[in-house]
Structure 1
Amino acid sequence: MADVVIDQVEKTFFDQENKTSFTVFNDISTDIKSGEFVSLLGPSGCGKSTLLNIIAGLDQPTSGTITANGKKVTAPGPDRGVVFQESALMPWLTVLDNVMFGLKKQMKKEEAKERAKYFLKLVHLSKFINSYPHELSGGMKQRVSIARTLAFDPDILLMDEPFGALDEQTRSMLHKEVQYIWQETQKTVVFVTHNIRESILLSDRIVLMGTRPGRIVEIFDVPLERPRKPSSDEFGELEEKIQQKLAKEIEKVMREEMGDDYNSKKGALLYHSDRDMGSNI
């Protein structure tokens, strides 16, 4: 059974004043199975975050449909929880109160408190329940954000580049954290990233999106046993395969943006430079 069905979805923005339009992506179709971890990978501008927002019900498609748990998505719902790049914690509340805040509208205070404590323990922050956001590191703030979302028990967890602003060491630690949470909760996860290595480390499948306009270029299965080792031959082969596909999409963008100034050798240098920096494209 698929938790999420994306059927021929298009998103176009219209500028009524200038009478122009811009199609972010079109003809996006794929299924995401219950309990699956799927990453949306692609260059900037391909519509990864826009697609995630449509799945969340925060935006609407121009055409096509998305269903979650068998119901057409037209608005946000309790079956879908979103974790954004910014943790968006309330600075005047403690860690525990941040997680409890929304829960108190749905249940008694003591029940909300116990539930918040449970999920803070799941993300290994029990020692910091009485701390304030300014006392936490960036990675810890994101773990609070994840706990806050999980506390509502959504079937589908939508994550929009949640580690994009973090340093490499913290990101690596949170990769392990997210895998642990996913294995413990068996949630369906849709994860937006522009980092190839991150997508291979975490995902069952990787949906590679192209741009101008956005579309699905290819869907890669990741048949590697967990925990995954970036140093392994199998990991490296898959990374190289995705890298080559993605490089072609980036070259298209560069040609369009640079016009006559485009230089293929320059593009190749940029490609190899990005690769050396950990596939962070």
Structure 2
Amino acid sequence: MRVLVTGVTGQLGHDCVLELRDRGIEVQGVSSREFPLTDVEAMRRYMAIYRPTCVIHCAAYTAVDRAEDDEAACMAVNAAGSADLARLCREFHAKMVYISTDYVFPGDGTTPYETDAPKGPLNVYGRSKLAGEEAVRSVLKRSFIVRISWVFGINGKNFIRTMLRLGQSHEKLTVVDDQVGSPTYTRDLSVLLADMIQTERYGVYHATNEGFCSWAELAAEVFRQAGMPVEVEPVPSSAYPTRAVRPHNSRMSKKSLTQAGFSLLPRWQDAVGRYLIELGTMKNTK
């Protein structure tokens, strides 16, 4: 197996490359510099040389608020670029993993969304990722659509890192508590993806760490495990208006993972603890 991982400079792409290398699987990570999603001929030239048998597509336009005023650029990368990549995978006989998002759903109610639940993105980013999903599924039968949410990993900015930074200078923080979902630790997700690509169990999956929480509950758990005496005051989303609307319900069912015989990710509290250790280890080696 020869795997190409897009978005290697991001949190998930970075950890996917590490996990595959640890398993002895041939892998090449690429960034937008050498593999621009808006240039199909450049992508074709790269794939013609490397000849991957699988592409894990982690790269995306992820500036959710900026996308509201930059819809064309967001769609060019997440929708059109992903469609072009899927066609190239078909051309070069490669399977593909398309990383999607909880934002494809409208975020109403409190019930976890099944993979086939009605879609209804609330923002441009969500619409672009849904368009990418639909393109990949229509073009490439040998594809895995994997929806994730609230991502955190060692190679980039994320909510947990922001909380740790703010906690250094604040005794009290206000954090949104009416958006509920599941954090996703890229170390854990990369293990699942490495397992997945070695099968033919194509389809749509939800893959996050187990359990649900609000952003405020996540922040409180981070401070508890980090031993930081920071009080978290829950507030509604209206206290922090953003350019893009966020879903209130990001709960996603993992039934499709279980039915396909894949292992569920560890609980989110456990993932937070291991991530804090990883962050500490990185700091100690610098």
Higher strand share: 1
Which of 1 and 2 has greater Rg? Answer: 1
Answer yes or no: same fold by TM over 0.5. Answer: no
The structure whose RCO (Cα within 8 Å, separation 6+) is larger is 1
